[in-house]
């Protein structure tokens, strides 16, 4: 499990890609859902309006049919008595002949539910259909009679279509002949309306799916663009990092070789010469002792003195490589000792000021700031021709700052950039590792150079709690 977790642990570039793609996918998904919802809502409203408009047109057409038919035989109905069977038969015959289109017809039921006229379905004539319902359970004849008793109105139900024999939705308009207790009406099948509405809904759904497809393609293109851009940037950053690493490795090797050369020169020019002098003095003393010369003490004293100088030189070289005072007392005393040694060696006056750190800088920051101070003093000794150096080291609420200022001839304009020389590049890289800042400038109104290094508060350790001292027990 641990190995699987390691394999699926995202890298920094993958995390950046996730940060870029997840909000994009979420935003596109929200937009797609919103667009689909709005599209369906608007389309449903338009479809409802279309359906209502078509049905109203059908209803108006039905009412017009019934009105025209009634006007055609109203003179018969109006002049007949309620029990005039001849007039009834004559009107029923007229209504039976009034068929239109492929499925249009008139029907007549008496108030008891008996069918009197049904020209396209003659098997229903003279039979009582009270209680008849369609396949959905909708009452048909009873509702038609109820509408006729109330005057006139519309009724919708499923009815076998004469042309096909299959059930289809039908709308009927019913009116009444109250003196004869007849319910007279006609109907029209609205399957064409329903087909139109279904086609409109299918078209809307197709458009919504097409919109989803377009949004998906746009999202995919955006994700590919983000992925390819991220991959390109990652490859570019890796190449730059590899190139920078190669340069850094070469600079480290150069610095190591330079340090080795410096130590070798100091060993050859300093300790080696001193040890040669000690050997010469000891050899001279031995020869005098062999001759019984009483002046042998003089070369022995000289050799002892020279040997002391060699020991001091070894300590100095060791201190330059890794000062023990840096670990024992902290950065302030270490830089102070470095400044005093620099002043004693070069004759340049050094003013050092600091605020007590109590050794609160972490090890990485201490060694980096010490090496920067060491590099700055080395540059001053070699190139600046300065007579006065000021070093200021202090901590503050934002971290710690080291400031080194000299009154020498200063750096050329093209060397102010920290990437100029090897020493300045080393300073810059040390500061970058600490996530700090390096500033190189000239003093206002004078010559010289200012090097200011700041490290963030994260490199300051919390103060150690004071341990209470136990009172001494009197003897």
Q: Looking at residues 357-374, what average pLDDT do you find?
A: 78
Task: Please say whether the dihedral angle defined by the alpha carbons of residues 278, 281, 284 and 290, taken in this order, is positive or negative.
Answer: negative
Confidence tier at 111 by pLDDT (50, 70, 90): very high
pTM for the full predicted model = 0.42
Q: Looking at per-residue confidence, does 342 or 253 come out higher?
A: 342
How many structural domains are present in the chain?
2
| Residue 318, in any domain of the structure | no
Indicate if the alpha-carbon torsion angle 359, 365, 367, 371 is positive or negative. negative
The CATH number linked to 114 is 3.30.450.20
Q: Which of the four pLDDT bands, split at 50, 70 and 90, describes residue 2?
A: very low
Residue 390 belongs to a domain with what CATH number? 3.30.565.10
228 is a domain residue: no
Asked whether residue 149 carries a pLDDT value surpassing 80, the answer given is: yes
Contacts of 138 (CB under 8 A, 6+ apart): 156, 157, 158
How much is the pLDDT for 357?
61
Q: 153 phi and psi, to 5 degrees?
A: 170, -175
List, as own/partner pairs, every contact residues 307-315 make where C-beta atoms lie below 8 angstroms and the sequence separation is at least 24, other chains included. 307/274, 307/278, 309/274, 310/270, 310/271, 310/274, 310/275, 310/278, 313/266, 313/270, 313/271, 313/274, 314/271
Tell me, yes or no, whether 420 lies in a domain.
yes
Q: Are strands 349-354 and 388-396 parallel, antiparallel or unpaired?
A: parallel
| pLDDT above 50 for 21 | yes
Q: Is residue 162 part of a domain?
A: yes
pLDDT greater than 60 at residue 78 = yes
Q: What mean pLDDT do residues 136-161 have?
A: 90
- 364 located within any domain: yes
User: Does residue 227 fall inside a structural domain?
Assistant: no
The more confident residue out of 303 and 404 is 404
* Cα 119-120-121 angle, rounded to 5 deg: 95
For residues 21 and 31, give the distance between their C-alpha atoms in angstroms, rounded to a whole number. 15
**CA–CA gap between residue 169 and residue 189 (Å, rounded):** 6
pLDDT of 195 > 80? The answer is no
For residue 146, is pLDDT > 80? Answer: yes
Residue 154 lies in a domain: yes
Q: What percentage of residues in the chain have a pLDDT greater than 90?
A: 10
Model confidence pLDDT, tens digit, residues 293-345 = 777 777 778 778 877 877 877 777 776 666 666 777 778 888 888 888 889 88
| Tally of residues, the chain | 475
Distance CA 235, CA 218 (A): 25
Is residue 163 in a domain?
A: yes
Inform me whether the pLDDT recorded for 467 exceeds 70.
no
Judge whether 373 and 338 are in contact, CB under 8 Å. Answer: yes
What is the domain extent for residue 433? Answer: 323-459
Of 189, 218, 245, the position where a domain reaches its end is: 189
């Amino acid at each position: 499990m641990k190995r699987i977790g390691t394999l699926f642990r995202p890298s920094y570039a993958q995390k950046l890609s996730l940060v870029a793609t997840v909000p994009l996918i979420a935003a596109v998904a929200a937009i797609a859902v919103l667009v689909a919802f709005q599209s369906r809502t608007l389309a449903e409203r338009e479809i409802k309006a279309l359906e209502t408009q078509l049905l109203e047109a059908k209803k108006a057409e039905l009412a017009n049919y019934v009105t025209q038919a009634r006007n055609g035989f109203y003179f018969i109905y109006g002049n007949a008595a309620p029990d005039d069977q001849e007039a009834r038969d004559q009107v029923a015959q007229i209504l039976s002949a009034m068929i239109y289109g492929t499925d249009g017809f008139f029907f007549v039921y008496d108030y008891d539910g008996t069918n009197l006229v049904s020209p396209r379905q003659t098997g229903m004539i003279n039979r009582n259909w009270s209680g008849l319902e369609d396949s959905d359970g909708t009452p048909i004849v009873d509702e038609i009679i109820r509408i006729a008793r109330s005057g006139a109105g519309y009724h919708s139900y499923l009815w076998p279509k004469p042309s096909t024999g299959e059930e289809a939705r039908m709308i009927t308009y019913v009116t009444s002949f109250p003196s004869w207790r007849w319910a007279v009406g006609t109907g029209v099948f609205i399957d064409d309306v329903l087909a139109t509405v279904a086609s409109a809904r299918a078209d809307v759904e197709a458009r919504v799916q097409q919109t989803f497809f377009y949004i998906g393609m746009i999202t995919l293109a955006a994700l590919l663009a983000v992925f390819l851009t991220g991959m390109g940037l990652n490859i570019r950053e890796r190449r730059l990092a590899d190139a920078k690493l190669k340069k850094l490795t070469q600079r480290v090797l150069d610095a190591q070789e330079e340090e080795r050369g410096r130590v070798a020169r100091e060993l050859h020019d300093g300790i080696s010469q001193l040890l040669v002098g000690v050997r010469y003095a000891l050899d001279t003393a031995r020869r005098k002792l062999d001759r019984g010369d009483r002046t042998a003490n003089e070369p022995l004293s000289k050799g002892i003195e020279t040997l002391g100088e060699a020991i001091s030189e070894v300590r100095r070289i060791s201190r330059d490589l890794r000062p023990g005072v840096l670990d024992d007392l902290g950065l302030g005393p270490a830089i102070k000792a470095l400044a005093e040694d620099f002043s004693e060696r070069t004759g340049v006056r050094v003013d050092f000021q600091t605020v007590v750190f109590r050794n609160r800088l972490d090890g990485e920051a201490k060694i980096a700031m010490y090496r920067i101070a060491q590099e700055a003093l080395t540059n001053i000794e070699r190139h600046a021709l300065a007579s006065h150096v000021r070093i200021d080291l202090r901590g503050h609420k934002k971290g710690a700052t080291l400031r080194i200022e000299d009154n020498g001839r200063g750096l050329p304009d093209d060397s102010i950039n920290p990437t100029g020389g090897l020493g300045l590049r080393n300073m810059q890289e040390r500061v970058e590792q600490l996530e700090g800042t390096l500033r190189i400038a000239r003093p206002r109104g004078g010559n010289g150079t200012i090097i200011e290094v700041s490290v963030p508060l994260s490199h300051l350790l919390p103060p150690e709690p004071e341990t209470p001292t136990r009172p001494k027990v009197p003897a």
